């Protein structure tokens, strides 16, 4: 089946709120949100952040004749980043995106911290549904703060009959969140105020006792954590590729657009 063409809109900020000291939720509105009625909450999509001083979003355009992308001039070109939309309310024409706040180090965090009503953000999203996790008896969910939106969506989708463990690493105690789940999930919160310097996520995953039966793992974190967890589950524990989805949202010390090839190669390894 051919993939549907991604939908695109320009979202306008209506308000924002801090969920925790290092987690900011931004609410946007757009007239064309109906095209995302079938989009799965928790799917990976893209945001386009305008450069400083630029108010409008300038999308790249596809040349219908040459099928080549025509990018806007450098001074107008937005920074493209991966994100997970947290909610969609078509009646209110409202899209919700959660951002990890880590100062002005990255364009997405900087934009979210400074966003005010009326500011614009480019949004590219899949318009067809996607299965987040397959049916299983037991789930291993693991990630850092960047994974909270997708892990929240997974937790909300799991049936009450499911069991599992959810390990999340955040800045500190104050950044722990109440994540609703019908399933019987054991939550483990790790605290790390210097995620660029390393993570304990892999070590914590190795402590988990994996039961017999149908299982599935969803892992989303920094490149090295994902690489180590994938190798451990696949090579030492014998998990198949159908039993594990592992994706790195970022690589320590490298901007997202510069680390994309490394992260994609690791995902496909």
* φ, ψ dihedrals at 228, nearest 5°: -70, -40
Strand ranges in 79-162 using DSSP code E only, listed in sequence order: 79-89, 94-100, 120-125, 138-144
Residue among 235, 28, 247 nearest 154 (CA)? 247
| Rounded average pLDDT over 240-255 | 88
pLDDT band at 269 (very low <50, low <70, confident <90, very high): low
- Residue 44: enclosing H or E segment and its boundaries? strand 44-49
Quick one: pLDDT at residue 177?
96
Quick one: pLDDT at residue 259?
45
Asked if 97 and 86 touch (Cβ cutoff 8 Å), the reply is yes
In the predicted model, is pLDDT for residue 192 greater than 80? yes
% the chain with pLDDT above 90 = 83
In the predicted model, is pLDDT for residue 194 greater than 80? yes
| Rounded average pLDDT over 128-132 | 93
| Rounded average pLDDT over 14-22 | 96
The string over 148-160, giving b where at least 16 C-beta atoms fall within 10 Å of a residue's C-beta and e elsewhere, is bbbbbbbbebbee
Residue with tokens 């793992």: 217
Asked if 47 and 108 touch (Cβ cutoff 8 Å), the reply is yes
Quick one: pLDDT at residue 12?
98
Kindly report, residue by residue over 89-129, the tens digit of the pLDDT.
999 999 999 999 877 778 999 999 999 999 999 999 999 99
pTM: 0.89
Residue with tokens 């966003």: 115
Asked if 139 and 114 touch (Cβ cutoff 8 Å), the reply is no
Give all domains of the chain, ordered by start, each with its CATH number: 7-125 (2.40.30.10), 138-267 (3.40.50.80)
Tell me the average pLDDT of the chain.
Answer: 91
> CA 98 to CA 213: how far, in whole Å?
34
pLDDT band at 4 (very low <50, low <70, confident <90, very high): low
Kindly report, residue by residue over 150-179, the tens digit of the pLDDT.
999 999 999 999 999 999 999 999 999 999
Q: For 65-69, 106-110, 170-174, 202-206, which range has the lowest pLDDT when averaged over its residues?
A: 65-69
Residue among 115, 180, 103 nearest 148 (CA)? 180
Quick one: pLDDT at residue 62?
81
Specify the pairing of strand 215-222 against strand 138-144: parallel
| Rounded average pLDDT over 128-147 | 95
Quick one: pLDDT at residue 261?
47
- Cα angle at 127 between 101 and 183, to 5 degrees? 65
């Amino acid at each position: 089946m051919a993939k549907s063409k991604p939908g695109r809109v320009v979202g306008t900020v209506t308000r924002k709120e801090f969920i925790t000291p290092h987690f900011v939720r931004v609410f946007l509105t757009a007239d064309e949100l109906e095209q995302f009625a079938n989009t799965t909450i928790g799917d990976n999509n893209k945001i386009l952040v305008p450069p400083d001083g630029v108010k409008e979003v300038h999308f790249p355009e596809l040349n219908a004749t040459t099928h080549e992308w025509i990018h806007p001039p450098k001074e107008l070109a937005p920074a493209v980043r991966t994100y997970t939309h947290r909610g969609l309310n078509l009646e209110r024409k409202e899209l919700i995106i959660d951002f990890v706040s880590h100062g002005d180090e990255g364009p997405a965090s900087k934009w979210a911290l400074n966003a005010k009503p009326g500011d614009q953000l480019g949004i590219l999203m899949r318009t067809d549904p996607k299965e987040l996790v397959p049916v299983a008896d037991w789930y291993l969910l693991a990630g850092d703060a960047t994974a909270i939106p997708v892990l929240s969506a997974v937790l909300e989708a799991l049936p009450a009959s499911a069991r599992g463990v959810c390990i999340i690493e955040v800045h500190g105690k104050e950044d722990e969140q109440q994540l609703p789940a019908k399933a019987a999930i054991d939550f483990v919160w790790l605290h790390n105020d210097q995620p660029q310097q390393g993570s304990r996520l892999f070590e914590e995953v190795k402590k988990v006792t994996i039961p017999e039966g149908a299982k599935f793992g969803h892992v989303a974190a920094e490149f090295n954590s994902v690489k180590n967890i994938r190798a451990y589950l696949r090579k030492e524990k014998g998990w198949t590729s159908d039993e594990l989805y592992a994706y790195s949202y970022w690589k320590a010390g490298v901007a997202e657009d510069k680390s994309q090839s490394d992260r994609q190669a690791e995902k496909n390894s």
